[in-house]
Amino acid sequence: MGLLVGYIRLISGINRWVGLVLAWLSLAVVVVCFAVVVQRYLFHTTQLWMQDLYVWLSGAMFTGVAGFALLQDAHVRVDIFYRPWPLRHKAIADLIGVVLFLIPFVTVVAIYGYPFVARSWRLYEGSANVGGMPGLFILKSFILLFCLLVGLQGIAWALRSFLVLMGKQDLLPKRLRYPETAS
């Protein structure tokens, strides 16, 4: 059980760190977008690379923090049934969800995304816009980073569910446990 808890803590720690670091990209997106708007409407000029930059920063941020969002249980969920369920039922639902939906999804995205990303790296692909940013291949690599971080966090989530089903949730630190419910 200690190995499972260690894995859950390691992956959750990695996703927490990546999420907190990449969350700062939201500030960069706002600053760059503001600069583009000021250039366009105040100075009647624009830099295409700056327009690319704020779109690319947004893409990098949202794909990079997806594992952190899963860790925080911040993904959209229709929980009219899930919320009032007892802890054990939640653990079963999460385990089934990870095994049947999340892991197959990130696997398919990785399998189909890898050639897309590899081709981009082979070509050192840049922006399709004349005067746009070089290095689109780096942004496309975030597709694979998304798969890795979300997939690993999904496995950690499934292991957390397994610990709950084994009656060992108390082995986890409080921040990684299921939230306490009134039921």
pLDDT in 10s for each residue of the chain, 183 residues: 788 889 999 999 999 999 999 999 999 999 999 999 999 999 999 888 998 998 899 999 999 999 999 998 887 766 777 778 888 888 998 899 999 999 999 999 999 999 999 999 999 999 888 888 899 999 999 999 999 999 999 999 999 999 999 988 888 777 787 776 544
Could you tell me if residue 182 is inside a domain? Answer: no
Q: What is residue 177's predicted lDDT score, i.e. its pLDDT?
A: 79
Could you tell me if residue 44 is inside a domain? Answer: yes
Could you tell me if residue 111 is inside a domain? Answer: yes
174 burial type by CB count under 10 A (0-12 exposed, 13-18 middle, 19+ buried):
exposed
Domain that holds residue 128: 2-76+83-176
Could you tell me if residue 168 is inside a domain? Answer: yes
60 burial type by CB count under 10 A (0-12 exposed, 13-18 middle, 19+ buried):
buried
For residues 68 and 20, is the Cβ–Cβ distance under 8 A? Answer: yes
DSSP 8-class letter at 128: S
Could you tell me if residue 162 is inside a domain? Answer: yes
Q: What is residue 40's predicted lDDT score, i.e. its pLDDT?
A: 93
Number of domains in the chain: 1
Closest CA to 71 of 177, 166, 169: 177
Q: What is residue 132's predicted lDDT score, i.e. its pLDDT?
A: 83
Element containing residue 176 per DSSP (H, E)? none
- What tokens were used for 106? 């990130």
- Model pTM? 0.87
Helix (H, G, I), strand (E, B) or coil at 173: coil
Could you tell me if residue 181 is inside a domain? Answer: no
3-state helix, strand, coil in the chain (%, to 5): 75, 0, 25
Q: What is residue 183's predicted lDDT score, i.e. its pLDDT?
A: 44
Could you tell me if residue 87 is inside a domain? Answer: yes
Q: What is residue 180's predicted lDDT score, i.e. its pLDDT?
A: 65
Could you tell me if residue 183 is inside a domain? Answer: no
